[in-house]
Structure 1
Amino acid sequence: MNRLLVTLLAALTLSLGAQAREITDMAGRHVVIPDRIERVFGAAPPLNVLLHAVAPETMLGLSFPVPPEARPYFPERLRGLPVVGGVFGMGQQMNPESVLMQKPDVALAWKSPFIDQARIESAFARIGLPVVFVQLDTTAEWPAALRFTGRLLGHEAKAEEEARAVEQVLARVGKVVNAVPEAQRPRVYYAEGPDGLATDCHRSFHTEAIELAGGYNVFRCEPKDHMGMERVSIEQVLAFAPDIIIAQDRNFVASVGKDARWRGVKAVQAGRVLVVPRWPHNWIDRPPSIMRVLGIQWLANQFYPQAYPFELRRETREFYQRFLGVSLSDAEIDALFR
């Protein structure tokens, strides 16, 4: 540990000693944190989205840089934040000195059965930064995560409003989906990667939005690990006979209709290949986040347009304003789907 890191660690320790309180985090751990929290390090992309929704003014950095095309979808302050990485998920790996240079009061970490909690605790213990675990793998866990973070950071009213909005959407979509027998649900293939031949199991949290919206994920299996993106063959996709393809890669969507290998796929023949909006955070996956609340409504409308009407521009504009603090023009909303 070099001299700079030792100096920063000492300063952090002194500041923590001034006023402190003990909380129980969502992993059941007792954690001593500063009584007043002003600067927070989100240690993985889902935590950045959580902070963006609840207390963006506390964010001290991002897991990955904001590309030019994404800038209109971020509040001005967040666009200029440094990239400090994280300890799990997409984006660059955390540099302890870079994090401490931002003078954090606390770190938020991702609680998940697939994540080595002890390794993350050790990483932050080495730099003397208190770490609080938050559970938010599934959309159903987000209301509790919002309320917990609101209490932690002194934004209870805002977090409660957001949590109730999530619960209301889940109830509304669930009512429509529960009325449709599984055999009558659209068969959906989730295409990932530049060739569309990576996908995720129906039991994976990566594909949760498809199932919540009433789609039948044709890749029926248990996930092997947290990262997913399991390889399949074009022959498997043909046999899946999907009614709809949900794709992450825009180049794949643009070229799939011209690819002889894919022309025999039912969804391609029907022109039902949808690209997932991804700014400022992906609507359904990578990272799993509160954006799924908007994503499942968009998908439910695609799957059941009569049963679940959805005014795309209005609902998108209202969601971005409420949860993300940005006002979008019609052109900016339309650009999300290109």
Structure 2
Amino acid sequence: MDVRGIRRIIPLLVLVILALSVMSAGCIGENAKNIPSETPSAESKVQTTGAPQLVEIVDSVGRHVEVPARVDRVLAIGCTLREVVYLLRDEAPEKVVGIELREAAEVRGENGKWPAGLDLPYIAAYPELRKKPVIRSGKTLNLERIVELKPDVIFAGPWNADEADEIQQKTGIPVVIVYVGSVGTKEQLEKYYDSLRLMGRILGKENRAEEIINTMNSYLADLDGRTKGIPDQEKPTVYIAGRAYYGTHGVLGTDPHWPPFEWVHAKNVASEVDGESKGINVDKEALVQWNPDVIFVSAVSLPFVLSDIENDPAYGPLKEKPLYSVMPYCWFAYNKEVGIADAYFVGKILYPEKFADIDVDKKAEEIFVEFLGERGRDAYRILKERYRAFEKITPGEGE
């Protein structure tokens, strides 16, 4: 073929190549999902085949899990729905596909040992979540129903890697273990922040995760600034009674590093029992010997604590101590907004001159809004009606 013939063919080849490029672009557009504005930082690992785009993440126990780059349907088990609501707020009712039994419950279980749905701030804020299918009751997980609901991802709380792998294998749905536990120590708080950031990445809410973390840090810095300079000899000793864990407890149920105490530098008489914030039962003899100056009581356990103090002569000295009720920080796991609100109440009781500018109700409502959106105002009002909280209690006067 001469040069003039080649010159005539080249333009035709260019047109063919352009046409194929346009056709290919059309196919990609039909098969690929749109990536949200807040995409996971591991975007370089996104698969771009005809299947849903996937991103590899590492969960809180070191498992490598591939999750969709865009998540529209989410399931949260093991008390992780709270954090999903913190992140999604008004989007939660649309994106959450199922809930756990306690979140749907109309009434408390076993004579008040277990919560009802409206006892939980995130459910009180978004009560329509109670209408979602129940996929877990106690330790029983309905895998068949989960498959039917087709979540893009499952968040799981205190699970081990083998359990998560088994659920993932049986359902074909990625399971991501996250830490949503107590935040009473620096190490626990950092673990929580790491998991919040991970959940934010997966849900396309990275900015919101950072907003929550900054909000928490701001409140904790304020509490610290008000109380860190108070000499130990000027601080009363304190004790949290009825701290719920696996249900309500009497006066011996406590927390050696209860976050509201930690955040206002209070002198917790049980602080030497363990190095972490968690629910424990202490010995009766130890509590009587500690003889705390001020006792705070988780409102959900108030009748059980009062019964102990009023009916057991060994607790005679405690009857003379100031007793105050707080909202339940731990109640179907850990309500972070409640913990911070409790800390302001504790601070105002222990160091009134340092918290003279604080109206606890107004501050608590503000905190609830920061975590739950504008519906947090309703949630706080509902909880105030359900709990006898932020009050001075007199043993013997009845509930």
Would you call these one fold, judging by a TM-score over 0.5?
A: yes
* TM-aligned CA deviation for residue 73 of structure 1: 2.1
Shift in CA distance, 225/177, structure 1 to aligned 2, threshold 3 Å: closer
Shift in CA distance, 75/217, structure 1 to aligned 2, threshold 3 Å: same
- The aligned length equals 304
Aligned positions of 1:237-256 closer than 5 A: 237-248=287-298, 249-255=301-307
Shift in CA distance, 19/199, structure 1 to aligned 2, threshold 3 Å: same
The answer for the alignment partner of 2:169 in structure 1 is 125
* TM-aligned CA deviation for residue 32 of structure 1: 0.8
Asked whether the equivalents of residues 77 and 154 of structure 2 are also in contact (C-alpha less than 8 Å), the reply is: yes
The aligned amino acid for 1:287 is A
Aligned positions of 1:53-202 closer than 5 A: 53-55=86-88, 56-57=92-93, 58-63=95-100, 64=102, 65-67=104-106, 71=118, 73-85=124-136, 91-110=138-157, 116-139=160-183, 140-141=189-190, 142-192=192-242, 193-200=248-255, 202=256
C-alpha distance in structure 1 between counterparts of 2:229 and 2:343, whole Å: 16
The aligned amino acid for 1:67 is E
C-alpha distance in structure 1 between counterparts of 2:334 and 2:57, whole Å: 25
The answer for the alignment partner of 1:48 in structure 2 is 81
Are 1:217 and 2:268 matched, yes or no? yes
RMSD: 3.2
Aligned positions of 1:213-292 closer than 5 A: 213-223=264-274, 228-233=279-284, 235-248=285-298, 249-255=301-307, 258-259=310-311, 261=313, 264-266=316-318, 268-270=319-321, 272-277=322-327, 282-284=328-330, 286-291=332-337, 292=339
* TM-aligned CA deviation for residue 218 of structure 1: 1.5
The answer for the alignment partner of 1:317 in structure 2 is 365
C-alpha distance in structure 2 between counterparts of 1:85 and 1:18, whole Å: 27
Q: Secondary structure at the match of 2:316?
A: coil
Shift in CA distance, 175/260, structure 1 to aligned 2, threshold 3 Å: same
* TM-aligned CA deviation for residue 284 of structure 1: 4.7
For residues 154-173 of structure 1, what are the alpha-carbon distances to aligned partners after superposition, in whole Å with 9 as ceiling and x for unaligned? 12333332221111011111
C-alpha distance in structure 2 between counterparts of 1:161 and 1:79, whole Å: 27
Shift in CA distance, 318/92, structure 1 to aligned 2, threshold 3 Å: farther
For residues 249-280 of structure 1, what are the alpha-carbon distances to aligned partners after superposition, in whole Å with 9 as ceiling and x for unaligned? 121355466435266234x313x223332xxx
Are 1:295 and 2:350 matched, yes or no? no
Q: Secondary structure at the match of 2:145?
A: helix
Between the aligned residues of both structures, percent identity stands at 23
The aligned amino acid for 2:296 is I
TM-score normalised by the chain length of structure 2: 0.66
* TM-aligned CA deviation for residue 28 of structure 1: 4.0
Question: Structure 1: which 5+ runs fail to align?
Answer: 1-15
Question: Structure 2: which 5+ runs fail to align?
Answer: 1-49, 108-115, 184-188, 243-247, 389-399
Shift in CA distance, 157/304, structure 1 to aligned 2, threshold 3 Å: same
C-alpha distance in structure 1 between counterparts of 2:314 and 2:125, whole Å: 36
The aligned amino acid for 1:100 is V
The aligned amino acid for 2:136 is G
For residues 78-134 of structure 1, what are the alpha-carbon distances to aligned partners after superposition, in whole Å with 9 as ceiling and x for unaligned? 232233227xxxx453222232232211111236xxx63333333333332212232
C-alpha distance in structure 2 between counterparts of 1:223 and 1:287, whole Å: 19
* TM-aligned CA deviation for residue 239 of structure 1: 1.1
TM-score normalised by the chain length of structure 1: 0.76
C-alpha distance in structure 1 between counterparts of 2:380 and 2:278, whole Å: 34
Asked whether the equivalents of residues 138 and 288 of structure 1 are also in contact (C-alpha less than 8 Å), the reply is: yes
* TM-aligned CA deviation for residue 222 of structure 1: 4.7
C-alpha distance in structure 2 between counterparts of 1:120 and 1:133, whole Å: 7
Shift in CA distance, 316/20, structure 1 to aligned 2, threshold 3 Å: same
